[in-house]
Amino acid sequence: MLGRLLQATTRSLLIGSRTISQTNVLFNGEYEWKDPKSDEEIVNITYITRDGTHKKIRGKVGDNAMYLAHRYDIEVEGACEASLACCTCHVYVDEEYFDKIPEPKEEEEDMLDMAPVLKPNSRLSCQIILKKDLEGMTLTLPRITRNFYVDGHVPEPH
């Protein structure tokens, strides 16, 4: 399971006759702003915004649904930047796809307990990692969130 959640990037630098390497681990909350390399990587999902607008977006296998929403200017706040310290990226997952997403960690469940208008299909979008069997999934934004900004503020992607 750990191998599925983590991904490593390595950079090497040659100094004199020595090579120094640094490996950075990418956790669920991190996101690469890269387009899919092939059609096999594409995952199409739909966000339903607070006003009922359906926004069809295209991601790739491995994308974080919250950061993907930011890329397409969908109003998902994500105040904690996917560190499981808030519930501002709360969404409702289409019932058909809910069981295709791995069970939430205890930390996610703790944050969801703070979310207003919690439903059985509630999840934090920062913890939804796209995979091919999520093709066609719909994520609905709740009418309200526990906003960390003043009312009416439109969040900017981080």
The domains found in the chain, sorted by start residue, are 29-140 (3.10.20.30)
Residue holding tokens 């059985």?
A: 120
Q: What pTM was estimated for this model as a whole?
A: 0.74
Q: What is the rounded CA–CA span in Å between residue 121 and residue 119?
A: 5
Reply yes or no on whether the pLDDT at 127 is more than 60: yes
Reply yes or no on whether the pLDDT at 26 is more than 50: no
**How many CB atoms neighbour CB 35 within 10 A?**
10
What is the widest separation between alpha-carbon atoms in the chain? 60
Question: What are the backbone dihedrals phi and psi of residue 120, each rounded to the nearest 5 degrees, phi first?
Answer: -60, -25
- How does DSSP classify residue 154? P
CA atoms within 13 A on the CB side of 78: 25
Q: Considering the chain, what is the average pLDDT of its residues?
A: 82
